[in-house]
């Protein structure tokens, strides 16, 4: 019972991360569109959910752009993406543990 409670807490953390991601990542993409069109062209259209663009953000390659305003938007988006991924993985593991230990 307690294990499932903690699994739900991880799901809540993933939802909070998704909220932050939906706020910061579009702002970062708009900044790229307006100030760094060559990078925006590299990421392509539909970069919001494009796996290559998300991996570019997740891996931290956005730091190659020497623009403190952009990194100020992209860093919270990256943290949110990491929170989403890690929280969902941990929630899944706890769910599996609860299934394995239930009578």
pLDDT digits (tens, 9 = 90+) for 28-37: 999 999 999 9
CA distances, 91 to each of 4, 54, 81 (Å): 8, 22, 15
The domain tally of the chain equals 1
Closest CA to 69 of 36, 37, 103, 21: 36
% of residues, the chain, pLDDT over 90: 97
Q: What percent of the chain has pLDDT over 70?
A: 100
Contact 21, 84 (CB under 8 A): yes
Whole-model pTM?
A: 0.91
pLDDT tens, 50-89?
Answer: 999 999 999 999 999 999 999 999 999 999 999 999 999 9
Residue 18: which domain range?
2-101
């Amino acid at each position: 019972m307690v294990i499932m409670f903690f699994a739900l807490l991880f799901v809540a953390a993933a939802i909070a991360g998704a909220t932050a991601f939906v706020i910061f990542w579009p702002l970062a993409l708009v900044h790229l569109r307006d100030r760094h069109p060559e990078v925006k062209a590299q990421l392509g259209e539909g970069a919001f959910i494009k796996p290559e663009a998300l991996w570019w953000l997740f891996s931290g390659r956005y730091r190659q752009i020497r623009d403190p305003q952009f990194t100020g938007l992209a860093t919270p988006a990256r943290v949110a993406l990491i929170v989403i991924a890690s929280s969902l993985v941990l929630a899944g593991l706890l769910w599996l543990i609860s299934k394995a230990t239930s009578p």
